[in-house]
Structure 1
Amino acid sequence: MSPTSALAATLATYHSRRQQRIARVPIWQSQLIAVLEGCKIIHTRSGELVCRAGEWLLLPAGQELELVNQPDADSGNYLALALTQDRQWLQRFHALYGHLLLDAAPGHPVFTPSASSRQALQQLVNTLERADGPIDQALAEHGWQGLMLALLQQGQGRSLLLLPTEDARQQLQALFAFDPAHDWTPAKVAQHLSMSEATLRRRLAAASCTFSGLLTEARLAHGLGLVMTGRQSLLDVALASGYQSPSRFAAAFRRRFGLTPSALRATRELPEDLFSTGDAPVIPG
């Protein structure tokens, strides 16, 4: 992953040199995406969203979409930052500033950030790039709060700040995402959640999902993130995603996303060091 990965994938960098088209991408946690080069196109049930370089995109949780990452015609690069909202950060933000959300405008999913929002994101990127310890993590959360307040000030960001529900689906998604390679079984999960297997099955049925379906989705989503942002071998990606065989991982990956991990990895054509100066990426004005 890029240098901005200091806090458990809170902020990830996505880079490609060829077009990427990925189907059925699950969005479990709300995301803020800043496109630095190229263009991102999102296909949802309600239509198409186009986010160009210099624009930001808000993706609320609880949806599945198709995305296209299109490199810039001149530079040949697609480059974007994706900020995932941390559940504990959201809870503490609501405790401090929840009253500010009562009259907040919903905003538009694609927008041009204000100077204050750009500055706040740049500060957060710089903090995450060097974060190493509890004080740095506290500074990162403080910077994130500043970014959220800057977004609210310009009439954006409300969809990022919705607290996630606590149904069975959300509980299992969080559990599987924490350790997708673990040998999860309904019995182990039920014990972890302090309920019987029968209760777990009833709650999953009420949420219109299955144990195996959620586990597979979590493992493939984890693998997708590693393929798009990391440098590990595909064998290591498969193992980290709970697959003992790279071929089985590749087959499941293709069924889900419409292309193989190796085909997606090939679109990146990564240089030895994406940020050769050693600095965090610069948010364009």
Structure 2
Amino acid sequence: MIAYPTGSEHRIALRSGVGATAGVVQERELAFKRLFIEGPILIVVEQGSKSLRWPGGACEIRAGEAIALAGGQSVDVTNRTGEQGSYRARWVAWDGALIAAHANAHAQQAVIRHALPITGAPADFIAAFGQAAEAMEGERVPLDIARHRAAELLLWIGLHGGRFEQSRDLTLAVKLRRMVGGDVAREWSAGVVASEFAVSEATLRRKLADEGTSLSAILVDARMTFALQLLQSTAQPVTQIALAVGYQTPSQFAMRFRDRFGFAPTAVRGHRRQTVLESLRP
């Protein structure tokens, strides 16, 4: 088990210039179709297992193993509980400048196009992961040391066979997804988005249609994916999460969430609901 700062499992920590980290806890098996991966991310599974599928590939990651995922793609994910009855994992993501610096310094390494499973990881790799996560949790670790720890984790990934891409030609849909992901609660009208990309509304709609999507579809998916992240990794109440992703009522949010993932928001929080019920037993 990786040691993290107290309370780190119930919030998403973001440190400027370093990266972000959070824990995930589930008490039941859940499957997520077409889950968008915003940027490069490393996930370590602690309990249970994680199955992933992407165009042209698939893998299963068990407890004690990790997977490095490239950003700008959608994957199918299933999290399964282990013998302890829970699925537990933690992820870290890096500041873009650290990804770019590593890519420049290690251009000879193979680029991770979709995913790089890391099995049989040595104890030093797991320790480096824990130290990087701790460095992203707050400012107890000096900034230069925190950046060094985050960069060290990229070196470990390189030793296991790959590096993240410094930059890539992104589709309009991915560019739009990243833009609205920075403020999912904002009212992103077609006029506002078209202005941001310096195109007409008609051109925006046509280009998105050519990529098989639309502004409304991207908005809903970005909001629901962020809501899922908040449900998995924080203790925020559902009403607050609904507001955070742009919905005024929990019922409207719950309907959209169920349409997107196939289950209610409360299903993600089953472990917390069960804990409350047990505490009320005589």
Question: Which category of TM-score, normalised to the shorter sequence, fits these structures?
Answer: 0.7 to 0.9
CA RMSD of aligned residues (A): 3.0
Matched residues in 1 for 2:62 and 2:160: separation? 19
Matched residues in 1 for 2:174 and 2:55: separation? 21
How far is 1:259 from its partner? 0.6
AA aligned to 1:173 is R
5+ residue gaps, structure 2: 1-8, 277-282
Which position in structure 2 is the counterpart of 1:210?
Answer: 214
Which position in structure 1 is the counterpart of 2:6?
Answer: none
Which position in structure 2 is the counterpart of 1:77?
Answer: 86
Which position in structure 2 is the counterpart of 1:224?
Answer: 228
How far is 1:120 from its partner? 2.1
Matched residues in 2 for 1:224 and 1:76: separation? 21
Which position in structure 2 is the counterpart of 1:59?
Answer: 69
1:145 to 151, 160, 165: 151
Cα distance change, pair 122–193 in 1 and its aligned pair in 2 (3 A): same
Maintained 8 Å contact 2:92/2:133: no
Cα distance change, pair 88–201 in 1 and its aligned pair in 2 (3 A): farther
Matched residues in 2 for 1:171 and 1:122: separation? 31
Equivalences for 1:4-43 in 2 at 5 Å?
5-7=13-15, 10-43=20-53
Equivalences for 1:186-197 in 2 at 5 Å?
186-197=190-201
AA aligned to 2:100 is Q
How far is 1:77 from its partner? 2.9
How far is 1:152 from its partner? 0.9
> 1:254-277, CA deviations, whole angstroms, 9 ceiling, x for partnerless residues?
1111111012211455869xxxxx
1:101 to 100, 109, 117: 109
Maintained 8 Å contact 1:40/1:50: yes
**Other structure's SS at 1:180 match:** coil
How far is 1:44 from its partner? 4.1
> 1:141-179, CA deviations, whole angstroms, 9 ceiling, x for partnerless residues?
332211111221232x43x34534333222211111110
Which position in structure 2 is the counterpart of 1:122?
Answer: 130
> 1:96-139, CA deviations, whole angstroms, 9 ceiling, x for partnerless residues?
x1424269999852422234422321221221123379x53x54
Give the TM-score normalised by the residue count of structure 1. 0.80
1:112 to 103, 120, 144: 120
Matched residues in 2 for 1:80 and 1:21: separation? 15
Corresponding pairs, count: 266
How far is 1:83 from its partner? 1.9
Maintained 8 Å contact 1:40/1:67: yes
Cα distance change, pair 205–188 in 1 and its aligned pair in 2 (3 A): same
Matched residues in 2 for 1:238 and 1:111: separation? 37
**Other structure's SS at 2:107 match:** helix
Structure 1 residue runs of 4 or more that deviate by more than 6 Å after TM superposition = 103-107
Percent of paired sites with the same residue: 28
Q: Aligned pair 1:247/2:255, yes or no? A: no
Cα distance change, pair 141–173 in 1 and its aligned pair in 2 (3 A): farther
**Other structure's SS at 1:183 match:** coil
